[in-house]
Structure 1
Amino acid sequence: MTTASDQPVIFILSDSVGETAEFVIRAASSQFNGGQADIRRIPYVDDKKTIAEMVQAAAEVNGMIAFTMVVSELYQFLLDEANRKGVPVVDIMGPMIEGLSALYGREPKREPGLVRRLDDEYFRKVEAIEFAVKYDDGRDPRGLLRADVVLIGVSRTSKTPLSMYLAHKRLKVANVPLVPEVEPAEELFMVPAEKCIGLTINPDQLNGIRRERLKSLGLTARANYANMERILQELEYSEKVMKRVGCPIIDVSNKAVEETANSILDMLRKGGKHL
């Protein structure tokens, strides 16, 4: 099974891109004197005519066909046609699909391109995480109008952890700290109210959280940051801003990040209605 250049010819037929098969072939062929091979990838195969033509082409050069095809009708046609022409074939995914079918206890979907869709979801997640990092803590107000969700609240109301958690759900999240001495960026008031979530917290709990934060930094708990009068001032100011924005408000007191995140996701699914 060689060409004039003394390299085996391997046709890859796939009802998707064919990257999986090519990766496996290159990994396997590396075990044979450097793995030189003439690999010809034919992606998005969705008709019998193309299959018949590729089987004939493989027969003419004494080549082999490797395939990743999940549509039953085309799968069987390829096997029959290759057998008729005496062309060796290797099913890259079939044995694994059969094994997983037994493990899951159900039949596979038999839909082409599902791996590509999973890849797309992965890259959307990465993009969302990068977005959350870039627009954390009000760093760049330009991100507010590009965000899927904007979180606002005083310091230590879990804005950053929530941003990262929601980013893993492929949502682009920006967050803005509300401080009495700093007027929020005008972009905040241009964000649709249903895309903005206000976070509030019980003042006693916030006082405890801030005291612990100061201790971890080696600072005295008597600092203004943990002063109850200051905390009440900040919460009052944040409430005014949230009312001005018109956004729903979630009390994060005694709530885990996951619980608050699920409340936010429910709000978004229901069009921003306060639950």
Structure 2
Amino acid sequence: MTEPIIYVVSDSVGETAELVTIAALRQFNGSDALIKRYPYIENTEDIDQIISRAIKDQGMIVYTLVKPEIREYMKKMTHLHQINGIDIMGPLMDKFEKKFERAPLNEPGLVRKLDEDYFKRIEAIEFAVKYDDGRDPRGLLRADIILIGVSRTSKTPLSQHLALKSIKVANVPVLPEIDPPKELFTVDPKRCIGLKISPEKLNHIRRERLIALGLNDNASYANIERIKKELEYFDLISRKIGCTIIDVTNKAVEETANLIISYMNHKKS
């Protein structure tokens, strides 16, 4: 018996149609079939070529075509030439259109686009974890945004929040006793954002943090004079870099993140 030929046709890459076809074939004890994938079908001329081959080979056509005019043309031609044609997307989209009472986007490749967005987001989250708290200065050269600030200015939560927007963020703590990494002064200052906070607010945050850890809130970490010294050093470093400053004194993480995203969008325009 001649090996049957199945033409998998799509106006995107055709992965969905091929996976469904393979899954169905496995229900027949792995029956052999030759699958020929034809991606990025955009016009009726492409359809005509596939129809001609299917007629010659007595093949079947399995298709995922989201553009209505191309899908209807394929349906018409398979019916005209008595070719077994299986429309995977069309019936489901028609049902959804009635259920949701609105027209579909009819845009090829959205599944792949969603996959790419997902993996970009995961990559950004992993990046934020790897280059958190100045762990590896090499990350500064690859980051979309670099956050600098003294301890407890929400650098880590901000990095994670922005990572969920697929933005690669590295953050660096600023301490008078430790020189900032040299990479911080070689990157484009437009990629660097300093997080400023009032001494009084930082004093309150640090004292609360010490109490939560069961420690004495009179420790030097929460001492107001120590805090002022750290903030003076932060001002010195941020001026040397020439970075944008955002005052986070009374801002939630989400609010600061929105300001950073707005800044990035303005920078691109």
TM-score, structure 2 as length reference? 0.89
Counterparts of 2:255 and 2:32 in 1: how far apart (Å)?
Answer: 54
Partner of 2:131: 135
Per-residue CA deviation, residues 67-99 of structure 1 (Å, 9 max, x unaligned), is 011223322221111111111211111123223
1:78 aligned residue: 74
Q: Alignment partner of 2:12: what SS? A: coil
Size of the aligned set, in residue pairs, is 268
Letter in 1 for 2:219: A
Deviations 1:170-210 (A, max 9, x none): 21111110001011112212222222111022323322322
Q: Distance in 2 between matches of 1:189 and 1:179?
A: 16
Alignment partner for residue 146 of structure 1, among 139, 142, 145?
142
Most deviating of 112-121 and 173-182: 112-121
Q: Which amino acid aligns with 2:170?
A: A
Task: Name the amino acid aligned to 2:233.
Answer: Y
Q: Distance in 2 between matches of 1:142 and 1:164?
A: 19
CA offset at residue 118 of structure 1? 2.4
The AA in structure 1 aligned to 2:237 is V
Aligned to 2:192: 196
Counterpart pick for 1:175 among 163, 171, 174: 171
**In 2, distance between residues paired with 1:233 and 1:35?**
75
Structure 2: unaligned runs, 5 residues or longer: none
2:27 — aligned with what?
A: 31
The Cα of 1:36 is off from its aligned counterpart by 5.1
2:2 aligns with 4
Paired residue secondary structure (2:72): helix
Structure 1 length-normalised TM: 0.87
Q: Return the match for 2:252 from 251, 256, 273.
A: 256
Report the Cα offset of residue 35 of structure 1. 6.1
Distance 1:239 1:80 in 2: 70
Task: Tell whether 2:154 aligns with 1:165.
Answer: no
Whole-angstrom distance in 1 between the partners of 2:211 and 2:7 = 65
Aligned counterpart for 2:84 among listed residues 83, 88, 110: 88
Choose 127-136 or 13-22, whichever is displaced more.
127-136
Which consecutive segments of 4 or more residues in structure 1 shift more than 6 A? Answer: none
Give 1:188's aligned amino acid: L
Q: How does 1:215-254 map to 2 (within 5 A)?
A: 215-254=211-250
For structure 1, the 5+ residue unaligned runs are none
Distance 1:94 1:142, change over 3 A: same
CA shift, 1:37, in A, is 4.0
Cα distance in 2 for residues equivalent to 1:198 and 1:144: 14
For 1:92-103, list aligned pairs within 5 A.
92-103=88-99
- Which amino acid is 2:7 matched to? F
* 1:195-214 matches, cutoff 5 A: 195-214=191-210
SS at match of 1:31: helix
> Counterpart in 2 of 1:15?
11
Distance 1:158 1:103, change over 3 A: farther
AA matched with 1:130: E
Shift of 1:53: 3.1
Q: Tell me how far 1:11 sits from its aligned partner.
A: 1.7
Q: What is the alpha-carbon root mean square deviation over aligned residues? A: 2.2
Letter in 2 for 1:145: L
Distance 2:211 2:21 in 1: 57
Measure how far apart 1:13 and its partner are.
Answer: 0.5
CA separation in 2, counterparts of 1:35 and 1:15?
27
Q: Is the 8 A contact 1:162 1:257 kept in 2?
A: yes
Structure 1 residue 15 displacement after superposition: 1.1
What is the rounded CA distance, in whole Å, between the counterparts of 1:98 and 1:201 in structure 2? Answer: 55
Report the alpha carbon displacement of residue 137 of structure 1 after superposing the two structures with TM: 0.8
Give 1:107's match in structure 2, choosing from 103, 122, 126: 103
| Percent of aligned pairs with the same amino acid | 53
Cα displacement string for residues 15-54 of structure 1 (whole angstroms, at most 9, x for unaligned residues): 1111111222233333333465433222122233332232
User: Residues 37 and 212 from structure 1, CA distance in 2 versus in 1: closer, same or farther, beyond 3 angstroms?
Assistant: farther
Amino acid in the other structure paired with 2:144: D
The amino acid of 1:4's aligned partner reads T
